[in-house]
Amino acid sequence: MNKRMYDKGKILSGLVIFVLIMAFPFGYNIIAKIVTGKAVAAPELILTEKAKAEKECVMSKTDMKSGHMQLLDEWRDHVVRNADRVYVNSKGKAFDMSLSNTCLDCHSNKAEFCDRCHNYASVSPYCWDCHIDNPKEEAKEATE
């Protein structure tokens, strides 16, 4: 058995690159922690007083967490194509199908509610291409 390694420099530098690529996610987070000075934590959502008082959203919390985008997509379709604005949830409660008027009525703090998870999961939903963040506030300012 031959014990000599051939093209040592090239092979080893290739393997170093391989190890660096593999270590990237681990190293990146260590560096990010040093730079930002805080450990990574899951996003904390802030509920407005109105949302707290309401207690339950249109669906259960777990369903909303994983399926709110689907619900919004269906709502949009219903409203735009069928002119049907009434959503009745599993408990029989009726809601107006509207992102701006229903969702954002309680969750008027987009930056502390919507954005926190969206940024954490690196999602950029196109809702905000058309909808303004805070329709109520905007209206208030306009009347003032």
Partner 1 sequence: MNKNYMFSLVAVIFLFLIAYVGVEAAGLQWLFGIAIPYVATIIFVVGFISRVMKWAYSPVPFRIPSTCGQQASLPWIRQATIDNPSTNGGVIVRMALEILLFRSLFRNMRFELKEGKFSYIWEKWLWLFALAFHWSFLVVLVRHLRFFTEPVPFFVRYLEFLDSVFRVEVLNEVVQVGLPGVFVSGIVLLAAVIFLFLRRIFITQVKYISLASDYFPLFLIMAIAFSGIMMRYFVKVDIVGVKEFTMGLVTFSPSVPEGIGSVFYVHVFLVSLLLAYFPFSKLMHLGGIFLSPTRNLANNSRAQRHVNPWNYPVHVHTYEEYEDEFREKMIEAGLPVEKES
Task: Give the binding site for partner 1 (CB under 8 A).
Answer: 2-8, 11, 14-15, 18-19, 22, 24-26, 28-29, 32-33, 36, 39-40, 42-43, 62, 65-67, 69-70, 72-74, 77, 117, 119-126
Cα separation of 93 and 86, whole Å?
10
Q: For residue 87, what is the DSSP state?
A: E
Closest contact distance (angstroms) between CB of 139 and partner 1 is 27
Q: Are strands 94-96 and 86-88 parallel, antiparallel or unpaired?
A: antiparallel
Closest contact distance (angstroms) between CB of 36 and partner 1 is 8
Closer Cβ to partner 1, 25 or 49, answer by number: 25
Nearest in space to 131 (alpha carbons), one of 95, 101, 94, 97: 101
Closer Cβ to partner 1, 65 or 93, answer by number: 65
Across 114-124, b (16+ Cβ under 10 Å) vs e yields: bbbebeeeeee
Closer Cβ to partner 1, 29 or 101, answer by number: 29
